[in-house]
Structure 1
Amino acid sequence: MAPRKRTASPVERLIVRLRDEERTDRKLFVESKKNPKRAASEVLPTAGVPEISDSTIQRRLRDKGLYGRVAVHKPYVSKTNMEKRIKFTREHLQWTTEDWKEVLWTED
């Protein structure tokens, strides 16, 4: 008589499932870090993981420290203006608090 094939206990099945979830979480994390501007629904197809809901993806990424945020629009700073800013900064680097108190600050 052939030996019976041993079936996994509930604990063993849970361990396997958790290991698979950790692997899935790592894949989601890596794919999200590659292009942080992608939505959760766009990460799933490239990660090669089983179908899971967007909210699950978002929750798992939050657990890993990745939070969905809207990118802030930063004003364009031309090269000329950047050079002027750097020049100003270097010229005023040695100023003390007393020097800055002499400046008239206005809101334009």
Structure 2
Amino acid sequence: MGALTTHVLDTTRGGPAAGLRVELWRLGDDVAAAPLADFVTNDDGRAHGPLCEGEAFIAGSYELIFHVGAYFADSGATRVFLDRVPVRFTVDRPDEHYHVPLLVSPFAYSSYRGS
């Protein structure tokens, strides 16, 4: 069974980004985008379970929106360049596990398809 997970690491602290808001949207070509999940990361920088899985996890385009500006402002950062980080990706094999990590600082980010 396929599933989608994510993990956020705060590269300024060298650890998980706990308390960071994340939204998941399914994007459609002919229909409006649909919200699928809205959560705050736990102490390990993760959601408490898969963001989408099973029959709800279908082929198509998705977007994760990481609210990093608010996270860093709440963490005491005096300067923050990034506000929201959108990561758009395509699921072509929904029977597989898709893991989308985000490594982030107030000024830069990186993402990839993890395992």
TM-score interval for Structure 1 and Structure 2 normalised by the shorter chain: under 0.3
Between Structure 1 and Structure 2, the one with more helix by share is 1
User: Which structure's relative contact order is higher, taking Cα pairs within 8 Å and 6+ residues apart?
Assistant: 2
Report which of the two structures shows the higher radius of gyration computed on alpha carbons: 1
